[in-house]
């Protein structure tokens, strides 16, 4: 049994050593990947990790634009190199030691320390608010909550860029003819949409889904707002072309359910509790001390600073 145990121990040790080597190799590969050079300018470098951090910090739409157009990524990398070059020049001149710059750095440092420490001492418990607390606040405030009317709209789109006079004239005529067909008593809007519309969603019978007016083009909003369910509009012109619109469905303005506002309500409650805790903590720092304010001196400063 002892010999068997020794063999097992030896195998385990070998396995552990192999796993360790594999883990070390993976770590090494990760570090190498993150430090691989993407762009250079003299002694300056933009590494893979720099680019990843930059891309991760971009808003979703900009990230999508970069993915679709790699020239944007190159411009961003060149901008990073320019930033590094400027910082290198500033460092060579000890710019951070200039009195006015040092004062700004010190002020920024104090602000960061103040905010981060205050956030730590006023942190909100992870389980706040409870379902019961959420329900209570929802019941108290739901009368102030408004869910706007929602509209489901289908369209037949005829492209006619506003800067192309010929396209606009032809598009207006075509859209007017299509609208007359679509407004007929036995019209099949879906069939007309598939036949005439240049909107990619037309071939799948797509529509907007239920959305508020604010998510429609500005030119569409007053038109859709006056349509009744099933109505088809006259052509609506936008900068892109002409739109023949059908109101497929509508839900009236109302009060949102708790499920619909749960996340936003929870975030608002957590934010308020954190703000209240921070204010109480700051007030508590002075509660056990005697605070004196020189009124005349303060008035003199106010009068001098505010003309």
| pLDDT tens digit sequence for 19-28 | 545 555 555 5
* pLDDT for the residue numbered 19: 53
User: Which structural domain, as residue segments, surrounds residue 244?
Assistant: 150-251
Which two three-digit tokens encode residue 100? 């006015």
Residue 287 has pLDDT above 80, yes or no: yes
* pLDDT for the residue numbered 200: 85
Average pLDDT of the chain is 89
198 is a domain residue: yes
238 is a domain residue: yes
Tell me the average pLDDT across 238-265: 96
**Could you tell me which of 112, 119, 188, 103 has the C-alpha nearest to residue 154?**
188
183 is a domain residue: yes
Least confident window among 4-8, 60-64, 89-93: 4-8
* Distances from the Cα of 194 to the Cα of 26, 52, 156, 202, 238, angstroms: 53, 42, 8, 5, 21
11 is a domain residue: no
284 is a domain residue: no
Peptide bond into 34 cis (omega under 30): no
| pLDDT tens digit sequence for 185-208 | 999 999 999 999 998 888 877 899
* pLDDT for the residue numbered 8: 37
Name which residue leads in pLDDT, 152 or 27.
152
24 is a domain residue: no
Measured over the CA atoms of residue 285, residue 287, residue 289 and residue 294, the dihedral's sign is: positive
Total domains, the chain: 1
126 is a domain residue: no
Q: Could you tell me what percent of the chain has a pLDDT over 90?
A: 81
Q: Domain of 154: which CATH number?
A: 3.10.50.40
């Amino acid at each position: 049994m002892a010999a068997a145990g020794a063999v097992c121990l030896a195998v385990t040790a070998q396995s552990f050593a192999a796993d360790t080597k594999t883990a070390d190799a993976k770590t090494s590969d990760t570090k190498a990947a993150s430090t691989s050079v993407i762009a250079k300018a003299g002694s300056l470098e933009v590494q893979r990790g720099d680019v990843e951090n930059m891309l991760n910090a971009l808003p979703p739409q900009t990230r999508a634009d970069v993915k679709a157009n790699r020239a944007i990524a190159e411009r961003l990398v060149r901008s990073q190199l320019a930033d590094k070059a400027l910082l290198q020049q500033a460092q060579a001149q000890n710019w951070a030691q200039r009195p006015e710059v040092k004062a700004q750095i010190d002020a920024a440092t104090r602000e960061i320390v103040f905010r981060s420490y205050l956030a730590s001492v006023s942190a909100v418990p992870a389980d706040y608010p409870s379902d019961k607390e959420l329900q209570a606040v929802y019941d108290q405030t739901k009368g102030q909550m408004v869910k706007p009317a929602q509209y489901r709209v289908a369209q037949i789109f005829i492209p006619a860029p506003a800067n192309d006079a010929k396209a606009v004239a032809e598009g207006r005529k075509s859209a007017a003819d299509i609208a007359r067909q679509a407004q007929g008593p036995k019209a099949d809007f879906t069939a007309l949409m598939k036949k005439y519309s240049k909107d990619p969603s037309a071939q799948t019978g797509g529509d907007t889904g239920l959305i508020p007016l604010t998510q429609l083009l500005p030119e569409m909003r007053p038109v859709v707002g006056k349509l009744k369910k099933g109505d088809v509009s006259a052509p609506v012109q936008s900068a892109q072309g002409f739109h023949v619109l059908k109101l497929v469905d509508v839900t009236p303005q109302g009060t949102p359910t708790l499920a619909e506002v749960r996340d936003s309500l929870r975030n608002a409650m957590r934010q308020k509790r954190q703000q209240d805790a921070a204010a109480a903590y700051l007030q508590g720092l002075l509660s056990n001390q005697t605070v004196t304010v020189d009124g005349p001196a303060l008035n003199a400063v106010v009068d001098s600073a505010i003309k």
